[in-house]
Amino acid sequence: MKIGYLIKVLPNLEEIVPEDVESYVQISVQGNGLYTDEDLEKIKDVDAFIVSMEPVNEQILSAASSVKIAQRLGVGYETLDLKATAERQIPACNIEGVNKEAVAEHNMALMLSLSRRLPQASALTETADWPAARTLTASAFELKGKTLGIVGLGDTGSSLAKRAHPFEMNIIYSEIREVNTELASQIGATRVSHEELFRTADIVCICTDLNDQSRQMINSEALALMNPDTTLICCARGGILDEHAVAAALKSGKILQAGIDVFEVEPIEQGNPLIGIPNCILTAHVAGVTKPTSARIWDWAHENVRSLVVRGERPRWIRNGV
């Protein structure tokens, strides 16, 4: 089989590509969001796309007459044109649950770092300002007894709830879909509305998909419901937060602090309003990226492609109804 890897930031593909891949090409979009004619020529006879954050759209689908599957590397699939792939009977797939533990742990890492003011404490300690570093303890807090609000109790949200439960946190969640009520019952999690969650949670963790209902969910109206001691964490998808509104809330003291791993435009641009805010930790969409998770993502992606292209089986995790 021949694979087109739609990837901007190159891993060492020679170490990743399995032996049964006869040939492969790698391309990515230009700054204008389009593929070059030269790159489109390279993928005209590929059997499959394996996609990082590059778009699978009309332009590339029109050029790739042999492609049989578009496989996303990860959980999100907003870069896959579901309508255009469905019209061509090409399954558009993500990988469900592949990095849920890693993302849940990153949420916990941000939660713990923010609760103990670790970035500020580290910076002050490195300047030998010992008294100032120790005064940060006045605003530090323990997780025990705090109310954790999880928006989206799917794979990642459930994994986060399991990790937060031993910290003796009170867990509430909001969700627009059916959820694992057995798990919620086991950990004593209570389902509430989005509005009630924003009003009552000490720590708000966004774990939902990016969709029409969640886009710009954390806007000025949602932030107005939160209290000045709220910690906001988002390791879900860029586009769920109104970044300008969150930046304004952080600077004005409307919310206490934030930890954010995903952004509307990635890689993050210098003009992003969240950059340089001292009570905000930013990470580069790495919540789901660990050595074991990365290996698992590549293995599962190649196996899903192989199931259709080599064995003629129906692939898993189809998102466009084909």
What are the backbone angles phi and psi of residue 254, rounded to the nearest 5°? -65, -35
Q: Active site residue: 195, 221, 266, 269, which one?
A: 266
Alpha-carbon distance of 280 to 205, in angstroms, equals 14
Alpha-carbon distance of 104 to 74, in angstroms, equals 15
The partner residues of 206 in beta bridges, in order of sequence, read: 151, 234
Active site residue 126: no
Q: Active site residue: 117, 237, 302, 306, which one?
A: 237
Residue 293 CB neighbour total at 10 angstroms: 18
Active site residue 215: no
Closest CA to 76 of 60, 54, 61, 57: 54
Active site residue 237: yes
Catalytic residues: 237, 266, 285
